[in-house]
A = this chain, B = another copy of it.
């Protein structure tokens, strides 16, 4: 593989290298030789009993079995790209291209395991800076070559699928060399970060200034600043730090029509807020190269604790009360009884058994785990905020499990994707999906999605687990995040999940939820977008797309289908 990502950032070097990145994408989330990717025996036993899982070791096709066509990039275009970024940053090798072939959805990972067809880019271009990105964008527009912006490659909705659409070839634009903290304004608490900076690198570089971004989605370990903005990401501490869109103050976008910069003040009435048109545009309007972000003082104290509420209705009422009283913990996460049960089952061990027994003794019929986490710059501030939360929570009569459960959650907060790798190895069809709605519609939405998933997946003796949690609460409503586990249909794994996902999306649309609260649209949700924003909404997005990307080369097939 060609060596990439060797530019020296102004402030601090980043950990990742191109080599790491490639093989990570190829094999799933877990790094080569990484931990946490083996399913414990008790979990396998539980899954077999609970879901009817039979095959617990499923074959992965060897690399060589994956069909990778010859690059279709015309020589002239390759040379022109090389003239911009350097020959060594136009990657045509099989591994390089496979390494950026799609994202991290179940379907993407199954394709990398040899199931179905994998869309592999014709080349990977790795620009050094915003100026090079701009020239690459213009070149692709000129030659009508599809261009897929690529950060951490963590999309679970087909957002980085290397589809050429009706174009002759498609190039992945890997932004990993745009890894700099460009500037910090400590007075205004602003930081300009390049789009390819990963979340851990962003936190490390900001920490040197005593600052934090506070954006901790489950994709934290791999995802990038540009990806967060392009997809309207929301982190686990969204109640404290806001959604990513709340942090975005300014944007620098490379479009086929030239550079576009937005953002001069924290708020404005100078017409529509066009930043909100770029945030969430998923590379269809341009390639983000820099994002100006509101940052905060780095917390020095934290406390994460677990509580159990009895039943989903009591649980969501409590979270709603916290949200509407303005006293949500920074992390506020409520699992439904199915997810609580799943968490206990996968944890296993005598401690979990003790907790279950304790809850029964306390008369909790339908345990719903509530994790609350506060982070602050002083113990007094944390104590005051915690007191305010617990005062409101009291009326829900929580059974308090203390900080052990809370800290356990915090330590494992980014492990979900690794655990999924292990489940994939064990023959499980495992995927997540999410939505959001207003409080008065939340129960109906959860029931509808759950019923749709169970109905489609409970075939041939399979007994699906459909677990759900609220991880993002607002004054007017909340998100719902579903985790699905079911024995894989080894004869038709993609069809099995495809039917379930379609049923869930139809249920979401029919029940009035959003088709995505924080995973974005990508390819997978594009058919459902018109129901949410109306035909006029689609026409408006189309008009913006035609204005900025007249030749239609940017991220073909995403957002607008």
Q: How far is the CB of A158 from chain B (nearest CB, A)?
A: 14
A533 to B277, CA, bound (A): 12
A476 touches B266 (CB 8 A): yes
A533 touches B271 (CB 8 A): yes
Q: Fill in one digit per residue for A491-524: 1 if any B CB lies within 8 Å of its CB, else 0.
A: 0000000000000000000001111111111000
B274 touches A533 (CB 8 A): yes
Which among B262, B479, B533, B559 is the interface contact of A262 at CB below 8 angstroms? B533
B234 touches A438 (CB 8 A): no
Q: Does A70 contact B (CB under 8 A)?
A: no
Q: Does A269 contact B (CB under 8 A)?
A: yes
B269 touches A518 (CB 8 A): yes
Look across to chain B and name the residue whose beta carbon is closest to the beta carbon of A391.
B380
Q: Please, how many residues of chain A have a CB less than 8 angstroms from a CB on the other chain?
A: 85
B232 touches A273 (CB 8 A): yes
Copies per assembly:
2
Which among B189, B258, B539 is the interface contact of A324 at CB below 8 angstroms? B189
A536 to B547, CA, bound (A): 9
On chain B, the residues within 8 Å of A521 by CB distance are 269-271
Within 8 A of B (CB), among A207-250: 231-234, 243, 245, 249
Among A94-102, A279-287, A446-454, the stretch that binds chain B is: A279-287
On chain B, the residues within 8 Å of A281 by CB distance are 271-272
Look across to chain B and name the residue whose beta carbon is closest to the beta carbon of A518.
B269
A438 touches B280 (CB 8 A): no
| Cβ-closest 9 pairs across A and B | A276-B276, A266-B474, A188-B438, A232-B269, A543-B547, A268-B514, A265-B436, A266-B477, A265-B514
On chain B, the residues within 8 Å of A273 by CB distance are 232, 245, 276-277, 279-280
Q: How far is the CB of A481 from chain B (nearest CB, A)?
A: 12
Within 8 A of B (CB), among A272-320: 272-282, 294, 296-297, 320
A234 to B537, CA, bound (A): 26
A261 to B282, CA, bound (A): 23
Q: How far is the CB of A272 from chain B (nearest CB, A)?
A: 4
